[in-house]
Amino acid sequence: MSWTGMLALAAAQEPTLDRDLLDTSDLMWRPVHDSVMGGRSTGEVVESEQGVRFQGQLSLENSGGFASMRGESRVLDLHRTEGLQLEVEGDGRPWFVTVDRSDVRLRAGSYRASIQTRAGEVTTHNLRWTEFLPKSFGRPVVGVPGLGSAPERIVRIGLMVSDGLEGGFDVLVRAIRPLAPSSLLPEPGESGSARKGGVANAFMRAIEIGVPAFNRGDAGVCRAHYQTVIETMIMLSDVHLSESQAQRFRAALGAASTESDVDAAWTLRRAIDNHLETLAGA
């Protein structure tokens, strides 16, 4: 099977664990707005049987422009998960889903993945850990570990609106479920075929996210996605890569470190494509 065929097959499967973090964890929610930097945005968090509602007003005054809610917990228990599934009743705005690790400090930032809501409709969003980009002051950060390398260290989950449009916002989070482990990061004792499928799945998902970002002019975002998944696989190379494969990826990372975002994205993509072709032919 070609790696493009493997991509189509993997995209159709999104199993979740049978638990909702809104019910099974001790998430404590609080609003965090641009007021911490002098902005004028406002908002409140209201918990109910339907979920967690976040509503308020986004203001661009005083160089502001973001409003967020954050839920913190010590018992999220996200070990051996692949991401999050959110059920959201939206307002038509784009939102960021934000995540924080206990061992990674991102100044004025977090790991972020975007979702598009529909006004008055409930939508479901499956977000793999590889989709979350580490950002600080709104810009991608390279060289920090990806969420997938240690999801058990995740301690905060939130939503943030910062689309540059003043006015009201209102979103209801009905459920947050962990995506169940399939083959993305198999255990060391699993078969070679399961391990190969897991590596391919991770790289193909990064391509799914990186290509649209590159095509809309966000080469830095594309580069960050490719770099994150490569660094994660190298970190776990004793399970997922041979030493020669890890060395080739390290060489690609080294070359990309001296290149522009556009050239680096291509360098990393070629390294990923070469590895996928090797897996498909094995």
| Residue range 5-33, pLDDT digits in tens | 444 444 334 456 778 999 877 899 999 99
Tokens of 37: 């930097």
Nearest of 46, 27, 25 to residue 172 by alpha carbon? 46
pLDDT digits (tens, 9 = 90+) for 120-143: 999 999 898 988 989 888 888 878
Nearest of 236, 229, 221 to residue 276 by alpha carbon? 229
Helices (H), the chain: 3-11, 21-24, 192-215, 219-235, 237-240, 243-256, 261-281
Indicate if 96 and 45 belong to the same structural domain: yes
Indicate if 129 and 214 belong to the same structural domain: no
What is the bridge-based pairing of β-strands 167-179 and 51-58?
A: antiparallel
In this prediction, residues 215-244 reach a mean pLDDT of: 80
The number of folded domains in the chain is: 2
Indicate if 32 and 140 belong to the same structural domain: yes
In this prediction, residues 176-185 reach a mean pLDDT of: 71
Indicate if 151 and 206 belong to the same structural domain: no
In this prediction, residues 57-70 reach a mean pLDDT of: 93
- Domain membership of residue 191 as a residue range: 3-13+182-281
Indicate if 267 and 187 belong to the same structural domain: yes
In this prediction, residues 24-43 reach a mean pLDDT of: 89
Indicate if 91 and 156 belong to the same structural domain: yes
Indicate if 148 and 82 belong to the same structural domain: yes
Indicate if 131 and 256 belong to the same structural domain: no
Q: What is the pLDDT of residue 131?
A: 85
